[in-house]
Amino acid sequence: MNLSWIRSRTTAAQRLSHRLLFTLGAPLALMAAAVALAVESRPDLATTILVGGLTVSALLGTALAFHFARRLLLPLKAIVKASDALKSGQLSARALVHCDDEIGRLARSFNSMAERLERRERAATRLHELSHLLQTATDAGEALAIFERLTPVLLPGVSGAIYAISPSRDDLELKIRFGPEVHEYRPQAAPADCWALRQGHSYSVADAELKLVCEHLGGRHGLRDAYACLPLVTQGETIGLLHLSFSAATLEETSLDQRGEELDTIATAVSLALGNLALREKLKSQSVRDGLTGLYNRRFLEESLPREIDRCRRRNLPLTVVMADLDHFKKLNDTWGHEAGDLAIQSFAETARRHFRSEDLLCRYGGEEFCFVLPECSPEDALARAEALLRFQRESSLRFGRDAIGPVTTSIGIATYPDQTLDASALVRLADAALYRAKLRGRDQLVVHDGSAAA
């Protein structure tokens, strides 16, 4: 074995030590340096030492590769697997990685994102259920009761109230309170007391020192928790206010600002439901109410009277029909005009409301003729109420602008179930016939179908 060969091996070993220094680290580089020294001192062992060193290097490289695979590839594979599961709709999928390096932070960020997606999906599902149930409500009271029942699921730990704007639009009226916290909400407030209604969009306060507090909550001194006020708007018209109060525990995971989109969506669902119910009620009212007087119309009378007679029959109770007609109405119209005629009709309708009970059905039968149905009312009581109405009309003077039109008297006919008939339409005809006889007798009179009269 000549010297040049040994020197070439030595040079190769040195080059190897430099490569290992950069690839396998300092420990392997030191071992390579030791091999180089051994070659210089024992040339006959150069090949053996070199092969042994390379074998050890290979084993160490394999161990390092396995170590890096465990530290790098396996955690990345777990994150990829979890992301694939999340993509397929498994929102509960999480990356099971427990380390404190960059990959661990990546896994925690992924898990945090997955948790937010899962919470958002749960909220969307609950909101869909709320919207569906609200749309099946038959009136505003039932819709508010549904919202009150579902609030603990939809907004856990959140308290609040719903206000409705009065028909005059100058008051907020408290409709419901909900949630675990007992707050003293004002039964009434002015719309201007709420910054959300003033600005026309949602308004939230997390720190009373930094923002103005709504006066309907008592101002800053009345604030205990963070809160959000959301206008309830439908068809461009504000119909109410949703107020939500958040304790510190309910804002541990997400801030009030981060929940803004969710809260706006809830307010929109409530607004749509209440708006649709109000429109439905308005259309229903228009179909059964007289536009001039607000009394029920003839269509409603024809639908309701048979039902009321059946109810009284089952309970063995009387029912009285009172037909009334304004005297000399055509002359009033010709003399003073249709506006005065409308005023006389409206005035009589209001007088009838005061003389009969809330459970009685007061209807405008047509023109200046009215029909009043008094269920569960004895003939004597019905007669007394009708006579009082007759006297009031006789003694009252109607004014049209600055002019006194004078009293607008009325003629009245009465028929009672079951004394005269068992049929709804026949009962109305009998009361109308009694009214006709009152007209023939000189008007401003009351006639009961059996023929007796009272003046």
Nearest CA among 389, 162, 364, 353 for reference residue 270: 162
pLDDT score of 117 more than 80: no
Q: Which domain holds residue 253?
A: 137-285
pLDDT score of 362 more than 90: yes
Rounded Cα gap, residues 200 and 238, in angstroms? 9
What residues are paired with 238 via a beta bridge? 233
Strand ranges of the sheet holding 319-326, from the earlier edge strand across to the other edge: 361-366, 369-375, 319-326, 410-417, 446-448, 453-454
pLDDT score of 402 more than 70: yes
pLDDT score of 15 more than 60: no
Rounded Cα gap, residues 73 and 59, in angstroms? 20
pLDDT score of 51 more than 50: yes
* CATH number of 365's domain: 3.30.70.270
Q: What is the model's pLDDT at position 381?
A: 94
Question: 3-state DSSP: the chain helix, strand, coil percent, rounded to 5?
Answer: 55, 20, 25
Same domain, 189 and 272: yes
Residue 290 lies in a domain: no
Q: Are 370 and 323 in contact (CB under 8 A)?
A: yes
pLDDT score of 96 more than 80: no
Phi, psi of 384 (to 5 degrees): -65, -40
DSSP string, 228-271: EEEEEEETTEEEEEEEEEE-GGGGSSS-TGGGHHHHHHHHHHHH
pLDDT tens for residues 150-188?
Answer: 888 888 889 999 999 998 889 999 999 998 876 778 889
Residue 97 lies in a domain: yes
Rounded Cα gap, residues 24 and 438, in angstroms? 120
Domains: count for the chain: 3
pLDDT score of 59 more than 80: no
Q: Which residues contact 78 (CB under 8 A, 6 or more apart)?
A: 95, 96, 97, 107
Same domain, 222 and 336: no
Q: What percent of the chain has pLDDT over 90?
A: 42
Higher-confidence residue of 65 and 263: namely: 263
Residue 345 lies in a domain: yes
Q: What is the model's pLDDT at position 9?
A: 39
Q: Please confirm whether the linkage preceding 418 is cis (ω < 30° from 0).
A: yes
Over residues 297-319, mean pLDDT = 93
10 Å CB burial of residue 3 (0-12, 13-18, 19+) is: exposed
- How far from 439 is each of 76, 311, 328, 453, CA to CA, in Å? 98, 32, 10, 12
The confidence band for 64, taking pLDDT boundaries of 50, 70 and 90, is low
The confidence band for 310, taking pLDDT boundaries of 50, 70 and 90, is very high
Residue 82 lies in a domain: yes
The confidence band for 405, taking pLDDT boundaries of 50, 70 and 90, is confident
